[in-house]
């Protein structure tokens, strides 16, 4: 017998469900594409809508790409040695609901379908976790949160997204934060990672500040720290988080609709998400603007998947602790 021979008699013990096998649902979670039959704590759903992209189109391919890269994290235990903590245990039921139906070329219908799908998920008692698509998809998702009051919003993004309209259109990727500020059920906002050149004008920034939004660039946030950055945000209230992948630096998130230098690194965003999960009750989140057509090493999709898994772990850990 060779010294390299494997241990006999283990049956399937120690066998991993390899990431390159099987159907690529998000992290290989069970699939439930009929929302009428949804029975889960968390519903992951894609919105492959990039109809309002202003620069590089292709984020409609984001959900599929994030799912594929999420498979790296689909095997093995959810043990985090850094925190000495188990995350996302089997007591939580997480499902992949596939994608919202797209009416190709019809922005209004796509937004209608998106809002209806999120309303259905919420009515079934599941936390919606939404993969874009461009940032226009956040407005219809936010409308569906109106079963709640005083929802606070944290945005990770390079851009303010506070435009009144683009060519008369109110529901593009440049306006979701202003649209949310107009919704009666939306309360305070923190906009983190904002930097450089975007479509929002000085007057848009003034309007956002007048609304009471905390606006910080990565440099400004590094200087004061995460706790101080979130100090104007209320404790113990409900939170929705929208993550535009261009909030991260262009070097680690090149596959974005509008990649931007000077952004956050992965640890910074993960720590912000952990802080938000601890601050209040996160009732849903989206991650948008991943564009695999400009992501040759797939690192953008991989980090996107990782941040989603991190955040889900933080959110559900708080629910475990506060039961
Ligand atoms: Mn954005």
Neighbours of ion ligand 1 (CB under 5 A): 135, 157, 159, 161, 244
Residue 246 CA to ligand 1 centre (angstroms): 7
How far away, in angstroms, is 36 Cα from ligand 1 center?
A: 31
**Greater model confidence, 15 or 312:** 312
Residue 4 lies in a domain: no
pLDDT in tens, 243-284: 999 999 999 999 999 999 999 999 999 999 999 999 999 999
Looking at the predicted structure, is the pLDDT value of residue 25 above 70? yes
Query: Is 177 a domain residue?
Result: yes
pLDDT for the residue numbered 76? 64
The CATH number covering residue 72 comes to: 3.40.800.10
Within 8 A by CB and 6+ apart from 193, the residues are 156, 157, 158, 216, 217, 218, 221, 247, 248, 263, 264
Angle subtended by helix axes 266-279 and 299-321, to nearest 10: 20
User: What pLDDT is stored for residue 265 in this prediction?
Assistant: 98
Range 37-53 average pLDDT: 98
* 243 CA from centroid of ligand 1 (Å): 8
Task: Check pLDDT > 90 for residue 199.
Answer: no
**For residue 165, is it within any domain?**
yes
Average pLDDT over residues 58-77: 92
Residue 106's domain comprises: 26-321
Q: Answer yes or no: is 13 within a domain.
A: no
Ligand 1 center–CA 135 separation, angstroms = 5
Tell me the CA–centroid distance for residue 223 and ligand 1, in Å. Answer: 23
Parallel, antiparallel or unpaired: strands 79-80 and 85-86: antiparallel
Is residue 9 situated within a structural domain?
A: no
**Residue among 135, 157, 132 at smallest CA distance from 292:** 132
In a domain, 2, yes or no: no
Q: How far is Cα 191 from Cα 157, in angstroms, rounded to an integer?
A: 7
Its pTM stands at 0.97
Q: How many domains does the chain have?
A: 1
Centroid of ligand 1 to alpha carbon of 87 (angstroms): 29
State the pLDDT confidence band at 18, using cuts at 50, 70 and 90: confident
Residue 3 lies in a domain: no
Domain contains 54 = yes
């Amino acid at each position: 017998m060779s010294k390299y021979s494997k241990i006999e008699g283990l049956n399937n013990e120690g066998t991993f469900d390899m990431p390159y096998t099987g159907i690529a649902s998000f992290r290989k979670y069970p699939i439930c594409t009929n929302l009428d039959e949804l029975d889960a704590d968390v519903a992951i759903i894609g919105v492959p809508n990039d109809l309002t992209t202003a620069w590089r189109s292709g984020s409609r391919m984001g959900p599929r790409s994030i799912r594929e890269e999420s498979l790296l994290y689909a095997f093995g235990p959810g043990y985090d040695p850094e925190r000495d903590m188990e995350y996302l245990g089997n007591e939580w039921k997480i499902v992949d609901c596939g994608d919202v139906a797209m009416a190709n070329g019809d922005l209004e219908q796509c937004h209608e379908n998106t809002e209806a799908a999120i309303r259905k998920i919420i009515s079934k008692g599941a936390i919606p976790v939404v993969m874009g698509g461009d940032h226009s998809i956040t407005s219809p998702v936010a409308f569906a949160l109106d079963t709640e009051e005083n929802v606070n919003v944290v945005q990770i993004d390079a851009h303010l997204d506070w435009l009144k309209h683009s060519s008369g259109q109110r529901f593009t990727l440049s306006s979701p934060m202003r649209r949310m500020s107009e919704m009666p059920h939306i309360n305070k906002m923190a906009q983190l990672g904002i930097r450089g050149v975007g479509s929002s004008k000085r007057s848009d920034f003034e309007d956002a500040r007048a609304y009471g939004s905390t606006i910080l660039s990565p440099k400004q946030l590094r200087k004061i720290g995460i706790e101080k950055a979130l100090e104007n945000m209320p404790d113990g209230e409900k939170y929705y988080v929208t993550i535009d992948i261009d909030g991260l630096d262009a070097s680690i998130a090149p596959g974005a609709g509008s990649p931007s230098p000077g952004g956050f690194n992965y640890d910074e965003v993960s720590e912000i998400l952990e802080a938000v999960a601890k601050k209040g009750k996160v009732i849903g989140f989206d991650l948008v603007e991943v564009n695999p057509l400009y992501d040759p090493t797939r690192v953008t999709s991989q980090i996107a998947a990782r941040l989603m898994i991190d955040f889900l772990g933080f959110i559900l850990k708080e629910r475990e602790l506060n039961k």
